[in-house]
Structure 1
Amino acid sequence: MTAPARGVVSQASPGAPPVLPLVTVVVVFRERYSLASRSLRSILEHRDYPFALHYLDSQSPPSVRRELEAAEARGELTLFPAAPGTPNQLRNQALQAVTTRYVCFIDNDVLVTRGWIETLVTTAERTGAGIVFPLYLMGEFAADRIHMAGGKNHFSEKDGEIEYNEEHLFANASASRIAGSLKGGDSDFGEFHCMLLSMKMLQDVGPLDEAYLQVNEHIDIAMMARQANYRVVFEPRSIVSYVYANEQSPFWLCDIEPYRRRWSHEVAARDLAHLSRKWKVRSRQSQNITSFLNHQIGNLEQVHPRTRETAAAAAEAVDNHAYPYVHSFPRLVRQCLAQGHSPQEIAALNRAFDVAAELHGGSFRGSKKTFQEHLVRTASVLVVHGAPFDLVKASLLHAVYMPNTSSGRHLTPTERNRALLRDLVGRKVEAIAHAYGAASAAGPADPQGPPPVIAELPIVSAQASVVRIANDIEDLLDHAALLERKSLRHFARVHTAHGPVAEACGYRAMVAEFAERIRLAEAALAPGSQDPAAAAWLIELLRERAPYPLLESHSLAVRSRRLAARVVRKIPRRGIPLPLKLAARKVLSPFGLV
């Protein structure tokens, strides 16, 4: 029996000859790796129709790479290594290995549905179209949100020039409400989230234009197809969804660099200029593209520090009793202003502090610091080390979901409470606070288990690790942790678990400082230490806490003495039985009345 061709995905029955596919599906990197495995599994799960599957592996992280290699070993795909490049560069590279009648480019952050590829191929065969594209949703399927149901070009003449703009039809509409009424047919353009192209058309119009580095490559290929008299057809019965980063599928640390390469205002401006020159139009897309890029760039969480220090220099200056960190909110504000933070950022910081004050106000830690002082100084550690401002704000709220804080007050992380906090301080800050609380609730990692791959950590988890290092640095200032009965082994575990993550994010100086502060605390407790702040008698004295409210108890004692004095004055001096005298002396002697 002849074995199926490598990379051909089909459901041919055992013993039947291999099904020769009409289409090659080519998966191309778009902007992140963190959805790649889900996207691949989605494609492989919906394989009722035969297709060859080629995967351009552009430096995938370890877990994705292992899954790709396993799928290749099973004969489900053909893996092609690819250096980082622009989307059209990668697609042209992939075209060299395509031998089928059609090629379907699909991004590595797209999920598909049953019948997606068969419907596209059937429509291409029926219509003779050069390009066929599906109904695009965006987000998880449960979001029920249309990205585009066909594209429309708008041309107009002004001052002797042809102006051009594009429109995504039915953008943001509910898919469940209108998908059944959508009609397929000719359209002006589709997008490369998923697009079927005729290889004959590509031979006629030439390769994809690699001068487009970021945007408008989908507009260009559709214009080229229509110029060569090929139809561009929308097929709504084929449904796919491109999934942007969300809480269920967050950005990984390894996504940061390629994502930043992918989206840039400067590069987009060059692409718009190239489209205008090539097609002799004046593009009016600038405002829409700017809005799109602002959203894309702003969607990526920030974790790396704004400034970089050498770890050696930071460790040299460490002293647990002298430090550059402030403990009052007005001084924190001045520190932020000195670092160049804007009035808008200070206003957001003020809101975060007010929320923390409402939750933890009036409470004290075991070291007899106010809880708010601890929060402010933790934020100051992050400001000094140049952390992004979302981390600074989140540090004021890092205990908001932690039930075991010394303040004794917290929010249960229900969806209602999380939505409330998001409204108050923003989605990204709330997410860091939630990740911090979740990591603390999970406890230390299993030392026998495999170490996590730092590159594949969600960015929000890495942000929580950076805040955790800052929190524990603050605990060690003035040996406060010794008063809270925290073992130094606790800090060693935190350093082991979170230090490598913080270092990978660029906080080598802060991690080195943390290690040095742990060493100084150990030295202060060592026999023969001359540090008066770590003297055993002082630590025990400051650890003592009154077992009852002092003011209330003192007030009760005063009232009791006054009452006892009135009673004594009314008791006759003579004729009192001895047992009663003894009982009175026992009761009143603590008050100095007998």
Structure 2
Amino acid sequence: MSQPIVTLIVVPRERFSCTQASLESIYEHTKIPFKLIYVDGNSPNKVHRYLQTKAQENNFKLIRTDYYLSPNHARNIGLSHVDTKYLVFIDNDVIVSPGWLEALINCAETTNATVVGPLMCEKQPIHQRIHFAGGESHIVIDIKGRRHLREKMYKQGHQVSELRPQLKQTETELAEFHCTLVRTEIFERLGYLDEEMLNTKEHLDFCMNVIQAGGKVYFEPDSLITYVPGPPLKWSDLHFYMLRWSDAWTLSSLQRIRAKWDLSEDGYFQTKYKKLGVRRVSTIIKPLVRKLSFGNENKPLKRLLKKWDRKLNCFLTNRYAKMLPQHKLDLPPIKKADLVVKEFTQV
């Protein structure tokens, strides 16, 4: 291929301190031509300067906002600039492996898939512990006519070395936005991603929309990728992390998908409501309690910090909600993808 048929859209996930490792892995392990759009949502100055330097060196498009971005908002900003047959949504804390992109495109070309997800691993050491190997996302209607969301992630927690030889390319119902390849033309039918899905379950919503529109979702185990989750390792990550996993954003996202798909407020949602703030507790509050208590579990201090956290979280989300309408970009109509391209040949 002399001309790229795929555009990578890199967006912020929950922090910025993995930016360099993620971007360097993309350029090291991607051997076919590609375009890259990097959406920089108010990263710290040091990270922004790094991205400016790399954008000049590698000639990619860098789009920066001076405010934090919800995931679908960031993806839509990147999507508005895409003019290739395929795009890949990829988070800024993802490490890829050799041949990752070729495998995704080859799957789409040979199966006519609309969406292709890789074998997704999690945490360090990279490429060892499976996070996701395809899954389920659909509506079940019970005998009383109530609609329930069914979500299942396959093979989570298993070791890649044990399972990868058994895994096969297969049609599935779910791909995750950590990294997923999409046939761009589907957005001409679906429009932009739903920005009311602020921070959770947006991949379920998207995949169900794709399948409802007649598209196909595939899992491709020959593409191996790892996302490296928090905690926010630097103070400069903390504000964005707290907003990204705020109670208000999570609750709003759950209410949106329930209303959109006419779902019953069943045990699935009740469990999610009870877990509001769990990421902040596990990655910020618990480590802070151990540090302040010399390694001990101090329950009164933990309760106090959780109370302060809820108040601070409410303040941050309210301030952001008031600010965003003043700055939010109006997106243009989705571009038609350039479908006149040479046949893809796997390298």
Normalised by the length of structure 1, the TM-score is: 0.47
- Counterpart in 1 of 2:323? none
Contact 1:141 1:241 (8 Å CA) reproduced: no
1:365-404 to 2 correspondence within 5 Å?
389-394=289-294
- What letter corresponds to residue 23 of structure 2 in structure 1? L
What's the offset of the Cα at 1:174? 1.2
Match of 1:106 among 90, 103, 117: 90
CA displacement, residues 84-117 of structure 1 (integer Å, 9 cap, x when unaligned): 2211111111111111111101000111011111
**Would the aligned equivalents of 1:57 and 1:80 in 2 still touch at CA under 8 Å?**
yes
Deviation at 1:302, TM superposition (A): 4.6
135-144 or 200-209, which deviates more? 135-144
Contact 2:169 2:221 in 1 (8 A): yes
Select which of 257, 267, 291 maps to 1:275.
257
Residue pair 1:265, 1:290 contacting (<8 A) in 2 also: no
Tell me which residue corresponds to 1:84: 68
For 1:270 and 1:301, how far apart are their aligned partners in 2? Answer: 22
The CA RMSD measured in Å over matched residues stands at 2.3
Q: 1:257 aligns with which of 229, 239, 244?
A: 239
| Alignment pair present for 1:169 and 2:154 | yes
- Residue by residue over 1:516-547, the C-alpha shift from the partner in whole angstroms, topping out at 9 and shown as x without a partner, is xxxxxxxxxxxxxxxxxxxxxxxxxxxxxxxx
The amino acid that maps onto 2:195 is E
Q: Which amino acid aligns with 2:263?
A: V
Q: In structure 2, how many angstroms separate the alpha carbons of the residues matched to 1:169 and 1:289?
A: 20
Query: Quick one: higher RCO (CA 8 Å, sep 6+), 1 or 2?
Result: 2
Change (3 A) 1:226 1:142: closer
Residues 106-505 of structure 1: matches in 2 within 5 Å? Answer: 106-142=90-126, 144-153=128-137, 155-245=140-230, 251-282=233-264, 284-286=267-269, 289=272, 294-302=277-285, 389-394=289-294, 425=296
Matched residue type, 1:86: S
Read off the aligned partner of 1:194 and give its amino acid letter: C
Deviation, 1:168, is: 0.8
State the Cα deviation string for residues 12-53 of structure 1 (Å, max 9, x = none). Answer: xxxxxx921010001000100111111111111112111111
* CA pair 143-22 structure 1, distance change in 2 beyond 3 A: closer
Q: Counterpart in 2 of 1:60?
A: 43
Once residues 221 and 271 of structure 2 are traced to their aligned partners in structure 1, the CA distance between those partners, rounded to angstroms, is 25
Aligned equivalents of 2:58, 2:12: Cα separation in 1: 21
CA–CA distance in 2 between the matches of 1:26 and 1:146?
23
Runs of 4 or more above 6 Å deviation: none
Alpha-carbon distance in structure 1 between the residues aligned to 2:74 and 2:182: 15
Structure 1 residue runs without a partner (length 5+): 1-17, 304-387, 395-421, 427-594
* Larger Rg computed on CA atoms: 1
Question: How many angstroms does 1:140 deviate by?
Answer: 1.6
Whether the 8 Å contact between 1:251 and 1:300 is mirrored in structure 2 is: no
Residues 514-533 of structure 1: matches in 2 within 5 Å?
A: none
- Give 5+ residue unaligned stretches, structure 2: 298-347
Deviations 1:349-382 (A, max 9, x none): xxxxxxxxxxxxxxxxxxxxxxxxxxxxxxxxxx
Shift of 1:286: 2.5
Matching residue of 1:520: none
Distance 1:188 1:148 in 2: 12
Deviates more, 1:38-47 or 1:270-279: 270-279
Q: Does structure 1 conserve the Cα–Cα contact (< 8 Å) formed by 2:245 and 2:277?
A: no
CA distance in 2, matches of 1:156, 1:136: 30
Report what 2:77 is aligned to.
93
Structure 1 residue aligned with 2:345: none
Could you tell me whether the CA contact under 8 Å between 1:156 and 1:164 is conserved in 2?
Answer: no
Do 1:211 and 1:274's aligned partners in 2 also have CA atoms closer than 8 Å? yes
The aligned counterpart of 1:39 is 22
Give 1:239 shift. 1.0
Report how far residue 75 of structure 1 moved.
2.8
What is the distance in 1 between the residues matched to 2:158 and 2:190? 34
2:5 to 22, 34, 37: 22
Specify whether residues 157 and 111 from structure 1 end up closer, same or farther in structure 2 by C-alpha distance, changes over 3 A only.
same
Q: Distance in 2 between matches of 1:292 and 1:171?
A: 20
What per-residue deviation string (whole Å, max 9, x for no partner) do you get for residues 371-410 of structure 1?
A: xxxxxxxxxxxxxxxxx6444312xxxxxxxxxxxxxxxx
Structure with the bigger percentage of helix:
1
Counterpart AA for 1:90: A
2:51 paired with 1:72 = no
Contact 1:166 1:285 survives alignment (8 Å): no
> Which residue pairs with 1:317 in the alignment?
none
The number of equivalent residue pairs is: 294
- Tell me the CA shift for residue 287 of structure 1: 5.4
* Code of the aligned partner of 2:241: Y
Distance of aligned partners of 1:199 and 1:146 in 2 relative to their CA distance in 1, 3 Å threshold: same
* Deviations 1:534-562 (CA, angstroms, capped at 9, x unpaired): xxxxxxxxxxxxxxxxxxxxxxxxxxxxx
Rate the CA distance shift 1:140–1:288 in 2: closer, same or farther, 3 A.
Answer: farther
- In 2, Cα distance between equivalents of 1:227 and 1:255: 37
The Cα offsets for residues 148-188 of structure 1, whole Å up to 9 and x where unpaired, read as 11111352415320211211111111111001111221111
Cross-structure match for 1:487: none
> How far did residue 262 of structure 1 move?
0.7
As a proportion of its length, which structure holds more strand?
2
Q: Percent same amino acid at aligned positions?
A: 33
